[in-house]
């Protein structure tokens, strides 16, 4: 039953370990060093006070199965955060359990399915626009639905007429992102929602782009029934190189009974856990979700307050429109609509020299900037999706615009320079085909000449 050894496991001094990881850290790019304009990712400043607070032993050393009366501070925080997010999103009730945006999507769709099932037919289909994040269709499948894709119009928006064409009584919901992934506000959203509601379907809003909306327009007023929120985007929790985040879900009152258990309820001055709710979809994650992330988001919200959150969205939109203006001309702008918190350009003007979006992205690394999100949304050929966020100042935006303009010039004058970029990074372009064809997914003593990991 017992093993003798963990073959291959390291035997190192603590200093060796620290040197190793410090060296690795130098190979990374991060927000505190430079501008990180990844579209739809909201790479804003992650405030230091959030980190300090999350490390208080009264939060970091809590056990989830301690009796509720001994974790009243934590339950109060959860209860209040639900209320704050409901207010920001214009929703009635919120669950904090989903561990990430995609799990929030799955949870929201399960809630819709449970409600429709109780009405007699859970239905078969989910409508997803072609501009949607890939998680939307993947979550739909995992919830047992077929995906019906619809295209956006030539102004980058979903049209009520288009939805009407595919909307029938087997459609459970429409999943929409607003502002959409082109950074454009879906002006017709209420008309679209009417079409869906008229046929008994529900409207799901992917809240990935909520950073554009605080104090500007509430999803709950747009006809949205279910909304997920990415705390690692709008609410400043760090991305961590790919998580952990959190994906709370807000719903309108008629869907409350279907939210995951347990629910935190207030009774008298105390907070209790409600475990038995017969209509609930059940549990989607163990315990209370990513509590440490919820603490950070709560800290952020009380730090900024209502006014500060509204200013956040205003400045995020100002920054994006400013960059959009500065880059017009140098790059092709596929949609002339005013943008919200992000804008999308393409490589069309550079294409005749053979320079692509990938080349532009890699050349930006030489200028010390992280590239925008590239080749997304899929409806735009060679997309460069830029989201500056509100925490960047004008000088930084100007410097980025200058670098982009310089690359546009290089693309004309010296395309080879751009096409062979990056030239200054720790490694050059990596052979991804080789990685996939002969996967080496772990270090093994046999396949290296004594290399230690």
Partner 1 sequence: MRYTPHTAADKEQMLRTIGLTRIEQLFDHIPAPLRERASVSLPAGLTEVQVKRRMGALAARNATPEGWHFFLGGGIYHHAIPSAVDAVISRSEFSTSYTPYQPEVSQGTLQAIYEYQTLLCQLTGMEVSNAGLYDGASAAAEAVLMARRLQPEGRRRVLLSRALHPQYRAVVSTYLKNLGDVELMEVPFDRSGGTDINALTKSADEKTMCVVVGYPNFFGVVEDLAPIQAACARAGALLVTVTTEPLSLALLQPPGAWAADIAVGEGQGLGVPMALGGPGFGFFTCQKKSVRSLPGRLVGETVDHEGRRGFVLTLSTREQHIRREKATSNICTSQSLCVLAATVFMSTLGKNGMRRLAEVNVNRAHETQERLAREAGVAPVFSGPFFNEFVVNVKGLARRQGRFSAEKILPGIPLARWYPELSDSLLICVTEMNEQEEIEHLVRALSGN
**Residues 154 to 183: which contact partner 1 by CB under 8 A?**
none
Among 267, 442, 449, 450, binds partner 1 (CB under 8 A): 442
Strand partners, 273: 264
- Label residues 255-284 b or e (16+ Cβ within 10 Å = b): bbbbbbbbbbeeeeeebbeeeebeebbeeb
State the nearest-atom distance from the C-beta of 237 to partner 1, in Å. Answer: 10
> Cα–Cα distance between 406 and 228 in angstroms, integer?
39
Tokens representing residue 361 in the block: 């992205």
Question: Taking CB under 8 A as the rule, which mask of x and - marks residues 2-41 in contact with partner 1?
Answer: xx-xxxxxxxx-x--xx-xxx-xxxxxxxxxx--x-x--x
Among 40, 74, 171, 264, binds partner 1 (CB under 8 A): 74
Q: Do the beta carbons of residue 364 and residue 410 sit within 8 Å?
A: no
> Cα–Cα distance between 228 and 47 in angstroms, integer?
23
Name the 3-class secondary structure at 80. helix
State the nearest-atom distance from the C-beta of 412 to partner 1, in Å. Answer: 24
Rank residues 253 and 427 by Cβ distance to partner 1 and give the closer one: 427
Q: Do the beta carbons of residue 259 and residue 285 sit within 8 Å?
A: no
The stretch among 349-357, 379-387, 402-410, 422-430 that binds partner 1 (CB under 8 A) is 422-430
Restricting to residues 86-145, name those near partner 1 by CB under 8 A: 87-88, 90, 99-103, 105-106, 110, 113, 122, 133-135, 137-144
Long-range contacts for 139-142 (Cβ within 8 Å, ≥24 apart)?
A: 139/102, 139/105, 139/106, 139/109, 140/109, 140/175, 142/106
Q: Do the beta carbons of residue 333 and residue 347 sit within 8 Å?
A: no
State the nearest-atom distance from the C-beta of 406 to partner 1, in Å. Answer: 19
> Cα–Cα distance between 235 and 75 in angstroms, integer?
20
Restricting to residues 330-349, name those near partner 1 by CB under 8 A: 337-338
Rank residues 221 and 413 by Cβ distance to partner 1 and give the closer one: 221
Among 268, 269, 439, 450, binds partner 1 (CB under 8 A): 439
Q: Do the beta carbons of residue 346 and residue 380 sit within 8 Å?
A: yes
Rank residues 68 and 200 by Cβ distance to partner 1 and give the closer one: 68
Backbone angles phi, psi at 13, to 5 degrees: -80, 160
Backbone angles phi, psi at 136, to 5 degrees: -60, -55
State the nearest-atom distance from the C-beta of 353 to partner 1, in Å. Answer: 21
Which bin fits 90, alpha (ψ -120 to 50), beta or left (φ > 0)? left
Among 116, 160, 277, 315, binds partner 1 (CB under 8 A): 315
- Label residues 333-353 b or e (16+ Cβ within 10 Å = b): bbbeeebbbbbbbbbebbeeb
Count interface residues toward partner 1 (CB under 8 A). Answer: 176
Q: Does 381 bind partner 1 (CB under 8 A)?
A: no
Restricting to residues 219-258, name those near partner 1 by CB under 8 A: 221-222, 236, 238-245
Question: Taking CB under 8 A as the rule, which mask of x and - marks residues 262-301 in contact with partner 1?
Answer: -------------x-----xxxxxxxxxxxxx-x---x-x
Tokens representing residue 451 in the block: 């290399």
DSSP codes of every residue in 230-264: -TTTTT----TTT------EEE-GGGGGGSPSPEE
Question: Taking CB under 8 A as the rule, which mask of x and - marks residues 50-69 in contact with partner 1?
Answer: -xxxxxxxxxxxxxxxxx-x
Rank residues 274 and 412 by Cβ distance to partner 1 and give the closer one: 274
Rank residues 352 and 429 by Cβ distance to partner 1 and give the closer one: 429
> Cα–Cα distance between 221 and 219 in angstroms, integer?
5
> Cα–Cα distance between 441 and 264 in angstroms, integer?
42
Among 1, 120, 154, 269, binds partner 1 (CB under 8 A): 1
Strand partners, 267: 270
State the nearest-atom distance from the C-beta of 88 to partner 1, in Å. Answer: 6
Rank residues 412 and 439 by Cβ distance to partner 1 and give the closer one: 439
Among 164, 194, 256, 311, binds partner 1 (CB under 8 A): 311
Q: Does 194 bind partner 1 (CB under 8 A)?
A: no
> Cα–Cα distance between 398 and 101 in angstroms, integer?
32
Rank residues 134 and 413 by Cβ distance to partner 1 and give the closer one: 134
State the nearest-atom distance from the C-beta of 96 to partner 1, in Å. Answer: 10
Among 216, 399, 406, 417, binds partner 1 (CB under 8 A): 216
Rank residues 352 and 396 by Cβ distance to partner 1 and give the closer one: 396
Q: Do the beta carbons of residue 250 and residue 355 sit within 8 Å?
A: no
Rank residues 72 and 414 by Cβ distance to partner 1 and give the closer one: 72
Beta strands 373-374 and 146-150 are: unpaired
State the nearest-atom distance from the C-beta of 45 to partner 1, in Å. Answer: 5
Rank residues 222 and 352 by Cβ distance to partner 1 and give the closer one: 222
């Amino acid at each position: 039953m017992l093993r003798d050894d963990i073959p291959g496991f390291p035997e190192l001094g603590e200093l060796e370990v620290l040197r190793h990881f410090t060296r690795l850290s130098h190979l990374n790019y991060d927000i505190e060093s430079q501008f990180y304009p990844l579209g739809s990712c909201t790479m804003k400043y992650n405030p230091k006070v959030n980190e300090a607070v999350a490390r208080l032993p009264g939060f970091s050393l809590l056990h989830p199965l301690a009796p509720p009366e001994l974790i009243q501070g934590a339950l109060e925080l959860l209860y209040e955060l639900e209320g704050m997010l409901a207010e920001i999103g214009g929703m009635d009730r919120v669950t904090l359990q989903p561990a990430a945006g995609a799990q929030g999507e799955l949870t929201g769709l399960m809630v819709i399915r449970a409600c429709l099932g109780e009405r007699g037919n859970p239905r078969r289909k989910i409508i997803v626009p072609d501009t949607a994040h890939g998680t939307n269709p993947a979550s739909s499948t995992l919830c047992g639905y077929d995906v019906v894709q619809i295209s956006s119009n030539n102004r980058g928006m979903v049209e009520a007429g288009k939805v009407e064409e595919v909307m029938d009584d087997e459609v459970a919901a429409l999943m929409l992102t607003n502002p959409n992934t082109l950074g454009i506000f879906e002006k017709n959203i209420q008309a679209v929602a009417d079409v869906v509601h008229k046929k008994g379907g529900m409207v799901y809003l992917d809240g990935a782009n909520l950073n554009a909306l605080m104090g500007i327009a509430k999803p709950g007023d747009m006809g949205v029934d279910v909304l997920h929120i990415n705390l690692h985007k709008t609410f400043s929790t760090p991305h961590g190189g790919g998580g952990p985040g959190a994906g709370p879900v807000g719903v309108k009152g008629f869907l409350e009974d279907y939210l995951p258990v347990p629910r935190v309820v207030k009774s008298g001055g105390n907070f209790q856990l409600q475990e038995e709710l017969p209509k609930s979809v059940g549990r989607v994650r163990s315990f209370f979700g990513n509590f440490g992330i919820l603490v950070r988001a709560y800290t952020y919200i009380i730090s900024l307050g209502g006014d500060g959150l509204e200013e956040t969205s205003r400045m995020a939109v100002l920054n994006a429109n400013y960059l959009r203006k500065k880059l017009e001309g140098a790059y092709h702008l596929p949609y002339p609509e005013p943008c919200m918190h992000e804008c999308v350009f393409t490589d069309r003007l550079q294409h005749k020299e053979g320079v692509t979006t990938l080349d532009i992205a890699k050349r930006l690394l030489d200028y010390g900037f992280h590239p925008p999100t590239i080749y997304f949304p899929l409806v735009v050929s060679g997309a460069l999706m830029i989201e500056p966020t509100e925490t960047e100042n004008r000088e930084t935006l100007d410097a980025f615009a200058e670098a982009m303009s310089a690359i546009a010039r290089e693309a004309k004058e010296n395309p080879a320079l751009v096409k062979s970029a990056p030239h200054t990074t720790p490694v050059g372009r990596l052979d991804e085909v080789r990685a996939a064809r002969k996967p080496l997914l772990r270090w093994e003593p046999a396949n290296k000449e004594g290399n230690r990991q």
